[in-house]
Amino acid sequence: MRADWVGRVPGLTISGNRDAAMCALRPHHEAALANFGGNPEHWWRAEQVHGTTVACVPGAPQILAPDGLPVVPAVDGLLTDQPGLVLAIYVADCAAIWLADRATGAIGLLHSGKNGTAGGILASALALMAQSYGTRPGDVTAVLSPCIRPPDYEVDFAAQIARQAAQAGIRDFHDRGTNTATDFSRFYSYRVEKGQTGRMMALVVRDSPP
């Protein structure tokens, strides 16, 4: 498995809503995908509606997003066991969660902010991984991306995710504790920048069998 993180794009001014931001970021994110070694035809993205639904790809339906690229509608997480399929999630204070099953090779990528965490998107993803790929939580490595944290946000959903991972049986959980609201040279912050901001991008791909 390989993973990547694309932070704030230096010198790019974002002054609109999410759709405008995604259109402005599209060429930069496509270039990052190319550098990551991903094929645009095998690039899977979630619509991200702040929910808890997770989909397995390939095979999930897609619609066109406002930036002109396809997304899997009404989901906030993607899973696959197929080599070469790049999964992408966008965040700007919410957390991305990378998941890797060391036994089966299945991978996942989740969008988990206040609502997704409260609704248990991590548990939903693990249940679907178990059903679809035979994943056991004890075989899963989980990594939390930079996200907003107290005192800059009233809900410590990063701590909630860590507790949920432990309760689910994930023993290999990693969080560096980075706060997206404290460094605008590296991160976008939806809350601090009052919605007029870009999105970071998390990527993951399974290169070969485990």
Q: Domain of 82: which CATH number?
A: 3.60.140.10
Q: DSSP string spanning 187-209?
A: ---TTTTTT----EEEEEE--S-
Is 152 within the bounds of a domain? yes
Confidence of residue 15 (pLDDT cuts 50, 70, 90): confident
Is 99 within the bounds of a domain? yes
Confidence of residue 209 (pLDDT cuts 50, 70, 90): low
Measure the CA angle with vertex 27, ends 37 and 196; round to 5°.
125
pLDDT greater than 80 at residue 208 = no
Q: Which value, to the nearest 10 degrees, does the dihedral of the CA atoms of residues 66, 28, 189, 109 take?
A: 80
pLDDT greater than 90 at residue 172 = yes
Cβ within 8 Å of residue 63, ≥6 positions away: 47, 70, 71, 73
Domain count, the chain: 1
Q: What is the pLDDT of residues 41-96, one digit of tens each?
A: 779 999 999 999 999 999 999 999 999 999 999 999 999 999 999 999 999 999 99
Confidence of residue 16 (pLDDT cuts 50, 70, 90): confident
pLDDT greater than 80 at residue 179 = yes
Domain interval for residue 118: 2-205
Query: Average pLDDT, stretch 153-168?
Result: 97
Is 104 within the bounds of a domain? yes
Cβ within 8 Å of residue 35, ≥6 positions away: none
Is 210 within the bounds of a domain? no
Query: Average pLDDT, stretch 96-103?
Result: 98
Query: For residue 140, what are its two tokens?
Result: 């899963």
Query: Average pLDDT, stretch 179-202?
Result: 94
Average model confidence (pLDDT) for the chain? Answer: 94
User: What is the per-residue pLDDT for 77?
Assistant: 98
